[in-house]
Amino acid sequence: MIKPNCSALQRNELITTLKTTNYDLVVIGGGITGAGIALDAALRGLKVALIEKNDFAWGTSSRSTKLIHGGLRYLKQLEVGIVMEVGKERAIVYGNAPHIVVPEKMLLPIIKNGSLGKRSTSLGLMVYDRLAGVKKNERRYMLNKQQTIGAEPLLNQEILKGGGMYYEYRSDDARLTIEIIKTAVEEGALCLNYIKCIDYLYENDKIVACKAKDVFTGEEFVINTKKVINATGPWVDTLRKKDNSLKGKHLQLTKGVHIVVPKEKLPILQSVYFDVQDGRMIFAIPRQNIVYIGTTDTVYNQDINEPFASKEDVEYIIKATNHMFPTIKLATNDVISTWSGLRPLIYEEGKSASELSRKDEIFISDSGLISIAGGKLTGYRKMAQRVVDVVCNDLAKAENRTFKTCSTKNQQLSGGNLNGLSIKNYATQLQQTYTQFSVDEIEILVHKYGCNTNIILDYSLKNQQDLLLAEAWYCLNYEFSFNINDFYIRRTGRLYFERPTIEENLEKVHEYFTNTLQTNHTIAEKMKDEFTKAYNLVLAFKN
Ligand code: FAD
């Protein structure tokens, strides 16, 4: 039997292994929740497979605000337990993946008639620092009006009363997911994208296998397993329904939209978390040459597979931004990209979208299907720990086996070993070996691939290949990228952050993937059509 790796070229062998192995656990869904579960389970010694019907992180886990955060807003809702847990978790995730989780200074303007007063903000941030166990050098400090203007001259000075400065951690949700998947595979899990769970098989009314479908070829096959975890985010109820176990609590999806504008349109000096006139709060977060702003939070009952930013969503964000930064005069034409994601929240009678708890819950059906829903990107590790505990306890009792305890707290993720250096210093050090590239070029790669960056640089030099194609080569061979969608949307985020420059090299990269993988013509065309659709969908609000 082969040792699974993350090369797209290994797909056929991996499918054969899926068909011929009896697993302890099959995880359905390759978002952050499923990825975290696969890693935790593999580390404890379970024989685990994870299947994802699209690409890894294709669902909500590539469409969030991309913050690993202590959840200040939950303090406002008095969800103290969540603040404590996610606050501590963010320090752990930062330690495990310092290349994609970076501390980010966040300014909280205090305004007339805003949701936060000076005293309550100071007190709130202090409680937050304590609950979340914030490091001393990252603790909050308060600013008077003049200091706040100094920190951010673009703010609306007519309504400004002062500000609070604190730290959040900026991340890349889809890259965090793929680094967890890569680590899970290194630890013995078999993970594969474009494999859909279409049904379950039962013996004595208990699930004993998943019926799966290869999305590329249409081939259906069976994966035998003792336990199944449904970690499908917004699709959790769809998968529960297939098991005839959708009763009691169910999901309430809410949609969240972000818009992307060029940095020169909103040249803020740091991230800002600001009031909207309806009592909500939104983020403006600079990243390289752009700033992204969001999010909305509205109840969603339409097609789960294709949420997109509507004209109303975009206008809401623009209006709120212009209110807080009145001189920039942002218009819909300035928007260069958007994304839209669905929060898989647990329904609570009589609560509005923003009031619904972000807590996660586990449901276990009579047939043994274990579903996990709700939660946050930030809390993925703890969610995984809780649900893998359930599986290990059951298997330990049923089979008299022992399993290791959860060890993900200290598990470095793939790419995460920067030798204690900052991203900038790591890139500068690397440049001394790879003098053909600039520090800036290397730094961009380190932000995505961490200590695996040298593999890309070596390939580029040895094969005299430009960096874009060397990156595509890496993503195909080490990150299960099968096509331009995987590469431009989730592995590199270019659809969102560099959309205007994509077309230049699109055909070249498409050919690289289809030639290397010998993709059949119909599928190659389908992938291209899907990319065109995604490329247009982010600006569909203009139609
Ligand atoms: P998903 O990422 O949706 O993954 C589920 C996967 O299951 C999908 O990839 C899907 O294709 C797959 N699947 C579905 N059906 C099948 C099937 N039949 N067979 C195989 N696979 C299947 N959290 C934070 O901590 N910080 C933030 O800044 C933040 N911001 C957010 C902003 C927005 C707008 C939203 C919507 C959420 C935000 N969150 C944030 C929450 C966080 O993003 C989610 O909690 C998290 O991404 C959910 O991950 P998941 O793996 O449970 O679901």
Which run of H or of E encompasses 169?
strand 160-170
**pLDDT band at residue 251 using 50, 70 and 90 as cut-offs:** very high
Atom of ligand 1 lying closest to residue 29 CA: 7
Rounded Cα distance, 480 and 382, in Å: 26
Tell me the whole-structure pTM to 2 decimals: 0.97
Q: What is the pLDDT of residue 124?
A: 77
CA separation, residue 543 to residues 63, 255, 503 (Å): 22, 20, 20
Statement: residue 334 has pLDDT above 70: yes
Distance 383 CA to ligand 1 centre (A): 13
Region 136-152: mean pLDDT is 92
Does residue 119 have a pLDDT over 90? no
Q: How confident is the model at residue 249 (pLDDT cuts 50, 70, 90)?
A: confident
> Residues 158-165: what's their mean pLDDT?
94
Q: Which of 4, 6, 16 lies closest to 223 in space, CA to CA?
A: 16
pLDDT tens sequence across 436-481:
999 999 999 999 999 999 999 999 999 999 999 999 999 999 999 9
What band does 76 get if pLDDT is binned at 50, 70 and 90?
Answer: low
pLDDT band at residue 350, thresholds of 50, 70 and 90?
confident
Give the pairing of strands 251-262 and 48-51: unpaired
Residue 78 confidence (pLDDT): 62
Mean residue pLDDT of the chain comes to 94
Residue 70 clears pLDDT 80, i.e. is over it: no
pLDDT at 224: 98
- Looking at residue 114, its pLDDT comes to 86
Q: In this predicted model, what pLDDT tens digit does every residue of 47-67 receive, in sequence order? A: 999 999 999 999 999 999 999
Among 72, 235, 241, which residue has the most ligand 1 atoms within 8 Å of its CB, making it the best to mutate? 235
Which of 76-80, 108-112, 319-323 is the least confident region? 76-80
pLDDT one-digit tens code per residue, 191-235: 999 999 999 999 999 999 999 999 999 999 999 999 999 999 999
Q: Binning pLDDT at 50, 70 and 90, where does residue 130 land?
A: confident
Two tokens, residue 289 = 């040459």
Query: E strands along 215-355, which residues?
Result: 220-230, 251-262, 271-275, 281-287, 290-294, 298-299, 337-346
For a mutational test of ligand 1's pocket, the pick from 377, 480, 486, i.e. the residue with the most ligand atoms closer than 8 A to its C-beta, is 377
Would you state the pLDDT for residue 77?
66
- Taking residues 74-95, report their average pLDDT: 78
**What ranges make up the beta strands (E) of 302-414?**
337-346, 360-364, 370-374
Write out the H or E segment, with its range, that includes residue 393.
helix 380-399
Of the pLDDT bands very low, low, confident and very high (cuts 50, 70, 90), residue 138 is confident
Tell which atom from ligand 1 comes closest to the C-alpha of 59.
3
Closest-CA residue, ligand 1 atom 31, reads 64
User: Helices in 77-215 by DSSP H: which ranges?
Assistant: 80-96, 118-131, 145-151, 173-186
The protein residue with its alpha carbon nearest to ligand 1, atom 41, reads 376
Q: Residue 522 pLDDT > 90, yes or no?
A: yes
Concatenated DSSP letters for 9-73? GGHHHHHHHHHH-EEEEEEE--SHHHHHHHHHHHHTT--EEEE-SSSTT-SGGGSS--EE---HH
Stretch 146-170: mean pLDDT, rounded?
Answer: 94
Q: Which residues line ligand 1 (CB under 6 A)?
A: 28-34, 51-54, 58-61, 63-67, 69, 196-197, 231-235, 239, 256, 295, 341-344, 375-378
Picking from 19-28, 321-330, 340-349, which range would have the lowest pLDDT averaged per residue? 340-349
At 1 the pLDDT is: 61
Using 50, 70 and 90 to split pLDDT, how confident is the model at 73?
A: low
